[in-house]
């Protein structure tokens, strides 16, 4: 487990030379569980079910096209918290048998509470843009969404490419307590939580990876194998 001080999450993207064994091969781990540094109170707003799935290790990807008021999805960094939002309570958006594990998240109405827990920190370990429906099959086994949900994300704003983010999720032992106010909501992807964090003492707060290095490396290998047959330019940013 790593430490988290107020407004500072101690993680840094490591050298790409680091790897762990997968079978008889060695697979790159873009973001190993090692003490490193980054500073952010930035949060990506995401469906509460997806936040929980990442936190529990059930998912390692996110799909984005930006908010209604945004011309396209523009990542604002490679690390951020995940701010849980309401999306839709339709269980058909999830794979069969999955909804029972996320009843609390499906029922969440973040605007109806005074405080909202934020328990997941995310690091982007890969990003691609895609337009073709072949991505639906390429992402099998990497998320909890139904095939119809992925297709709907692809078809929304059809002239705009879909951004696939590979995420290494970290679980906060003690979630951030966020004071809910109107400025946190709206049709935009990112929000700064700094003024809304209620925790009075974050020194020594602990976090741990949702998946260990080996398990995450296997998911990375699975994603890259699936993307081989997909036209998906890699997205890079500073």
Question: For residue 38, what pLDDT is reported?
Answer: 36
Q: Is residue 222 part of a domain?
A: yes
Residue 188 banded pLDDT, cuts 50, 70, 90 = confident
Q: By residue range, what is the domain housing residue 200?
A: 2-227
Contact 125, 60 (CB under 8 A): no
Which segments of 79-159 are extended strands (E)? 79-85, 115-130
Return the higher-pLDDT residue of 25 and 117. Answer: 117
Return the higher-pLDDT residue of 223 and 104. Answer: 223
Q: Is residue 128 part of a domain?
A: yes
H or E element, residue 67? none
Residue 159 banded pLDDT, cuts 50, 70, 90 = confident
pTM here is: 0.83
Please determine, for residue 32, whether its predicted confidence score (pLDDT) is greater than 80. no
For residue 70, give the CATH number of its domain: 2.30.130.30
Structural domains counted in the chain: 1
Question: For residue 39, what pLDDT is reported?
Answer: 58
Contact 81, 176 (CB under 8 A): yes
Q: Is residue 77 part of a domain?
A: yes
């Amino acid at each position: 487990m790593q430490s988290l001080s107020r407004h500072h999450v101690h993680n840094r993207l490591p050298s790409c030379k680091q790897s762990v064994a997968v079978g008889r091969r060695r697979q790159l781990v873009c973001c190993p569980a090692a003490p490193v540094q980054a500073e952010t109170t930035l949060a990506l707003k995401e469906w509460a079910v997806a936040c929980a799935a990442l936190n529990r290790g059930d998912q390692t990807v996110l799909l984005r096209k930006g908010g209604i008021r945004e011309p396209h999805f523009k990542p604002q960094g490679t690390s951020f918290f995940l701010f849980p939002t309401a999306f839709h309570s339709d269980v058909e958006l999830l794979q069969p048998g999955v909804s029972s594990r996320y009843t609390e998240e499906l029922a969440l109405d973040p605007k109806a509470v005074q405080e909202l827990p934020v328990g997941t920190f995310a690091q982007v370990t890969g990003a691609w843009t895609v337009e073709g429906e072949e991505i639906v099959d390429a992402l099998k086994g990497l998320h909890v969404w139904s095939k119809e949900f992925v297709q709907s994300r692809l078809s929304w704003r059809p002239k705009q490419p879909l951004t696939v983010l590979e995420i290494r999720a970290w679980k906060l032992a003690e979630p951030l307590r966020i004071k809910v106010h109107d400025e946190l909501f709206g049709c935009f992807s990112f929000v700064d939580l700094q003024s809304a964090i209620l925790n009075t003492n974050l020194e020594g707060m602990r976090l741990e990876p949702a998946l260990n290095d080996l398990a995450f490396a296997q998911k990375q290998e699975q994603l890259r194998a699936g993307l081989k047959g997909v036209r998906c330019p890699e997205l890079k940013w500073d």
